Amino acid sequence: MNCESVQDLLPLYLSGELTGEGLAAVQHHIKACEACAQSLSADRQLDDVLRTAMLEHSPDVSAVLQRVHGKMATSGWKRMLHVRSLRLAALAAMVVLVAVLGVSSFRARQVQRTTAMAAANDHYSDLVLLRHPDWAYQPDDVARFMLEEFSRQDLLAVITPQGAVFEKVRLCNLGGTQYAHFVFRTGATETSIFLIPNGQAGNKRESIHLADAGHGLEASGFSSEHLSGVVVGDKGQVQTQEIAKRLGGMF
Partner 1 sequence: MELDDVKFVRGTSLTMPKDWTFEFETVALPHAGGLLRYALHLEGEKARAEDLVQDTLLSAWRHFHQFEQGTNCKAWLFRILKNLHSRQMRRMSRKPEVSLEQDEFRLAAPERISANQQVRDAFARLTPEHQEVLQLAAVEGLGIREVADVLQVPQGTVMSRLSRARASLRSVLQTRAFVRKEGL
Binding residues among 187-216 for partner 1 as defined by CB under 8 A: 205, 207-215
Question: Should residue 234 be labelled a site residue for partner 1 when binding is judged by CB under 8 A?
Answer: no
> Among residue numbers 99 through 138, which ones bind partner 1 (CB under 8 A)?
113-114, 117-118, 120-122, 125, 130
Instruction: Choose between 91 and 185: whose C-beta lies nearer to partner 1.
Output: 91
Instruction: Choose between 182 and 222: whose C-beta lies nearer to partner 1.
Output: 222
Q: Which of residues 26, 30, 40, 65 is near partner 1 by CB under 8 A?
A: 65
What residues contact 215, with CB distance under 8 A and at least 6 apart?
120, 121, 124, 128
What residues contact 43, with CB distance under 8 A and at least 6 apart?
10, 14
CA distance 172 to 152: 20
Q: Using an 8 Å Cβ cutoff, are 208 and 191 in contact? A: no
Distances 207 to 34, 160, 166, 204, 219 between C-alpha atoms, Å: 52, 19, 24, 10, 11
Tell me how far, at minimum, the Cβ of 191 lies from partner 1, in Å.
17
CA distance 102 to 97: 8
Question: Should residue 76 be labelled a site residue for partner 1 when binding is judged by CB under 8 A?
Answer: yes
Question: Should residue 235 be labelled a site residue for partner 1 when binding is judged by CB under 8 A?
Answer: no
Q: How many CB atoms lie within 10 A of CB 233?
A: 26
The letter for the amino acid at 61 is V
Instruction: Choose between 3 and 63: whose C-beta lies nearer to partner 1.
Output: 63
CA angle 63, 68, 74 (to 5 degrees): 130
Tell me how far, at minimum, the Cβ of 207 lies from partner 1, in Å.
5
Question: Should residue 147 be labelled a site residue for partner 1 when binding is judged by CB under 8 A?
Answer: no
Question: Should residue 167 be labelled a site residue for partner 1 when binding is judged by CB under 8 A?
Answer: no
Question: Should residue 176 be labelled a site residue for partner 1 when binding is judged by CB under 8 A?
Answer: yes
Question: Should residue 51 be labelled a site residue for partner 1 when binding is judged by CB under 8 A?
Answer: yes
Q: Which of residues 1, 29, 37, 141 is near partner 1 by CB under 8 A?
A: 141
Q: Which of residues 3, 24, 35, 50 is near partner 1 by CB under 8 A?
A: 50
Q: Using an 8 Å Cβ cutoff, are 218 and 238 in contact? A: yes
Window contacting partner 1 (CB under 8 A); options: 25-33, 156-164, 178-186, 241-249: 241-249
